[in-house]
Structure 1
Amino acid sequence: MHYLFLAVAIIAEVAATSALAKTAGFTKPLPTLLCLGFYALAFSCLAQVVKFMPIGIAYAIWCGAGIVLIAGIAWRVYDQRLDIPAIIGISFILVGTVIINAFSSSVSH
């Protein structure tokens, strides 16, 4: 069940960060409300996850997945292209997240 909460936390964080780009410094009400609402959902779900998983591991997975997804969305939606060093760096983050999930004894499966 904690992986479901973690997935919702990741999706909500990605939605919030995507909306953040549209808030114009929190001056546009609808994107600001969406942004804050999704962040609230993300942190609420993450708080449930850390009941079952060490916070360092949960946060690493949450951040790693969020970074990879936001980079992809920024590329597709906002046409923010990544250069080779950025792609390599984000690939390391993705590989690290997979290693944590697949091999760490700190993660309860």
Structure 2
Amino acid sequence: MSRPPVQAVPILRVLDVDASLPWWMRLGFAEEFRHVFEPGLPRFVGVARDGCRVYLSEHAGDAPGPALVYLWVPDVDRIAADLGADVEQVPWARECEVTDPDGNRVRVATAT
């Protein structure tokens, strides 16, 4: 029986999933699942892009943050232009840093 590959998934605290999702979609992510224990309780949503996953949680006890996520992508320039961020050349990559609606920072990079 084969085992699945090891995968780490960051969980980010968000105040309103519906406000956060459009921002993450601008980074190329799509909603993968949504879970609510019962109506009126906080939502827990998974977003994914090319095998990379991030969980967005409205639960107050999950990852009180804000957090920092480092995201490798094929074209940082496209994302930076869309989000109005400046791209910087660092020794290992071209990168920019953007902030989601809840103050979580995302460093987006393309290897050089």
Q: State the TM-score bracket (shorter-chain normalisation).
A: under 0.3
Q: Which structure has greater strand proportion?
A: 2
Q: Which structure has greater helix proportion?
A: 1
TM-score by length of 1: 0.25
